[in-house]
Amino acid sequence: MTREIPRLPLLIDGELVQSTTDRWRDVLNPATQEVVARVPMATAGELDRAVRSSARAYERWRAVGQGTRMRVMLKFQHLLRAHTAELAELITREHGKTLPDAEGEIGRGLEVVEHACSIASLQLGEYAENAASGIDVYTLIQPLGVCAGITAFNFPVMLPCFMFPLAVACGNTFVLKPSEQDPSASLRLAQLAQEAGLPPGVLNVVHGGPEIANGLCEHPLVKAVSFIGSTRVGTEIYRRATDAGKRCQSMMGAKNHCVILPDADRDVALNQLVGAAFGAAGQRCMATSVAVLVGEAREWLPDLVERTRSLRVNAGTDRTADLGPLISPAARQRVEGLIARGQEEGASLLLDGRGVAVDGYGEGNFVGPSIFGGVKAAMSIYQEEIFGPVLCVVEAETLDEAIAFVNANPNGNGVALFTQDGGAARHFQSNIDVGQVGINLPIPVPVAWFSFTGSRGSKLGDLGPNGKQAVQFWTQTKTVTARWAPRGGGPSGINTTITMK
């Protein structure tokens, strides 16, 4: 008997709606190549319907009290906790990451929802009584209107949580376009938010490819667009959105470095590096893809390789696995092609993850951990974001040489330093030109009440997700200057100057 493959619906105006499109994409389990769902490439009319639904809902939602919005977020975080196992299974089935890693992703998304529960204090304005004689000045922190989010495949729960919870808590409405490669967890997340109390139309979900992303950027009713994904797509999203006069934050590709000084705790530094480089099969925008070994720490390279050999590759449903498959056959081919190119360009392949065999999963998109030594800045494996389980190792004589090497890279998403020298750490954080710095931890993604602050080639737009910057991004400030006539009347006469009297 043939198994019926589910067709994912859109979420528009509070209802699950089957698309009328004639274009559907298979959603594959990366470990087996089994088709687990079909996702619609929504029509332009369906996109317009979703945006207009959000525009109508905004007129009501913007007037809802902060306390009510806060209580919705409180209920949402409760539901997110209760459905963690369900969401993790969806992530693993369509993305391939291990179940523990998927659960960790949900936990990081949950942090943002918990932060949104504080919206009553986050959205406070300022007030100055008698800024001039009898004149008060105050600010109103108001929502923008219809906002949109476009997410990459690598975090189908966390990335939407970086966007819509704070946006709707601020009084906006939202249209989400998840990645078409693993959309089920994002759709389920939106359903939970609606179950928590978001009225119909406040959060809509439209599936699709570049046409839907471009349509959100250019729709006249959309006021702000958030994107997290690759540099190529992010640059185009930013251009389209800003050309259309919208706010845009575009968090893009990276080449994250980990600098290890010889005074670092060897076990801690190497173990943390291995986890950061190869977790999620390297498919993280904050993955450590370059290790810079300084001075005597260069002698630790054989130890690094041996520790990496111990990692287990298997389907994500195996809770003892350290990394699962890549998202698609195309991703596997690209990563293996870059490994081959690294060899051709003269790097030393110290650990080759190509051709890894996983029992029972012969069709999976598996690439094992791979390590290159002797990497130079001009090599393709250093220039390109591999987005796979490949670590490039670079050597430096001094900390300042390492800092100069990192600063010469055009990207600025994250960097780490391992040391036991506080002076070296302070020198590093002061002189490194990267937006997010980790000291003795390898993936410096801050907690959600601090902003995500990637920089340079990794970010377009002034404000990043999460924290205070996110509240600024999803709101506009209105300044009111007011005079109320006191008893006995206000000022008399005509004043043709700009002086407040």
Q: Among all residues, which ones are annotated catalytic?
A: 285
- Taking the C-alpha atoms of residue 94 and residue 97, their distance in angstroms, rounded to an integer, is 9
Token representation of residue 163: 């966007």
**Could you tell me which residues are beta bridge partners of residue 142?**
476
- CA 252/CA 389 separation, integer angstroms: 19
CA trace torsion 477, 478, 481, 485 (10° rounding): -130
Query: Rounded CA gap, 113 and 208, in Å?
Result: 26
Q: Could you please report the per-residue DSSP string of 18-79?
A: ----S-EEEEE-TTT--EEEEEE---HHHHHHHHHHHHHHHHHHTTS-HHHHHHHHHHHHHH
Question: By 3-state DSSP, what share of the chain in percent is helix, strand and coil, each rounded to 5?
Answer: 40, 20, 40
- Joined tokens for residue 253: 């590709």
> H helices within 327-379, ranges in order?
329-344
How many Cα atoms occupy the beta-carbon half-sphere of 230 within 13 Å? Answer: 10
Q: Could you tell me if 30 and 327 are in contact, meaning their C-beta atoms sit under 8 angstroms apart?
A: yes
Alpha helices in 117-248 (DSSP H): 119-122, 158-161, 164-169, 184-195, 210-218, 231-243
The conformation of residue 7, written as its DSSP 8-state character, comes to B
Residues whose CB falls within 8 Å of the CB of residue 160, separated by 6 or more in sequence, listed in order: 109, 149, 151, 176, 178, 186, 189, 190
* 357: CB partners within 8 A, 6+ apart: none
CA-to-CA distance for 24 and 38, rounded, in angstroms? 6
Four-residue CA torsion sign, 180, 181, 183, 186: negative
